[in-house]
Amino acid sequence: MTMRGILLGAAGLVMACGEGGGTTDTKPAVARVEVAPPTQSITVGSTATLTATARDAAGAVLTGKTAVWTASPASVATVTQSGVVSGVAPGSAIVSAAIDGVSGNAAITVTAPLPSSSVSVTPTPMLVAIGGTATLTAVVRDRNGTGIPGQTFSYASSDETIATISTTGVVTGIRAGVVTLTATSQEIAGSTLATVVSPTTLAGRVVPADGGSPTGLRFSVLTGTGAGSEMFSTAIDATGAFSLSAPLGPLPTDSVDVVVDVPTEDVVGADCRWDLILCGDVCYEAPMTAHILPWLRRMARRAEVWVADPGRAYLPREGLTAFATYRVPTSLELEDRTERLVTLYRLGG
Percent of the chain whose pLDDT exceeds 90: 42
- Specify the DSSP class assigned to residue 226: G
pLDDT the model gives residue 210? 56
pLDDT the model gives residue 61? 93
pLDDT the model gives residue 262? 56
- Specify the DSSP class assigned to residue 228: G
pLDDT the model gives residue 252? 42
Could you give the CA distance from residue 282 to residue 291 in angstroms, rounded to a whole number?
10
Quick: pLDDT tens for 136-178: 999 988 877 888 877 889 999 999 999 999 999 999 999 999 9
pLDDT > 90? residue 16: no
Answer whether 174's CB lies under 8 Å from 157's CB: no
Quick: pLDDT tens for 58-116: 999 999 999 999 999 999 999 999 999 999 999 999 999 999 999 999 999 998 876 76
Q: Which of 156-170, 195-209, 243-257 shows the highest mean pLDDT? A: 156-170
Domains along the sequence of the chain with CATH: 32-111 (2.60.40.1080), 116-196 (2.60.40.1080), 199-260 (no CATH), 263-349 (no CATH)
pLDDT the model gives residue 80? 96
pLDDT the model gives residue 6? 34
- Tell me the C-alpha to C-alpha distance, in Å, between residue 220 and each of 212, 223, 230, 245, 246: 20, 10, 10, 11, 10
User: pTM above 0.95?
Assistant: no
Quickly state the pLDDT bin for 261 (edges 50, 70, 90): low
Average pLDDT of the chain is 82
User: Which of 96-100, 143-147, 182-186, 315-319 is predicted least confidently?
Assistant: 143-147
Could you give the CA distance from residue 39 to residue 77 in angstroms, rounded to a whole number?
13
Longest dimension (CA), the chain: 115
Compute the chain's Rg from CA coordinates: 33
- Tell me the C-alpha to C-alpha distance, in Å, between residue 135 and each of 99, 155, 227: 54, 12, 13
- The mean pLDDT value for 176-185 works out to 95
pLDDT the model gives residue 258? 53
| Residues contacting residue 78 through CB under 8 Å, at least 6 positions apart | 71, 85, 86, 88
Answer whether 80's CB lies under 8 Å from 125's CB: no
Percent of the chain whose pLDDT exceeds 70: 84
CB atoms inside a 10 Å sphere around CB 30 = 16
- The mean pLDDT value for 217-227 works out to 75
- Specify the DSSP class assigned to residue 267: -
| Residues contacting residue 322 through CB under 8 Å, at least 6 positions apart | 343, 344, 345
pLDDT the model gives residue 167? 95
- The mean pLDDT value for 281-300 works out to 90
Answer whether 104's CB lies under 8 Å from 38's CB: no
User: Which of 59-73, 161-175, 240-254, 283-297 is predicted least confidently?
Assistant: 240-254
pLDDT > 80? residue 273: no
Quickly state the pLDDT bin for 212 (edges 50, 70, 90): low
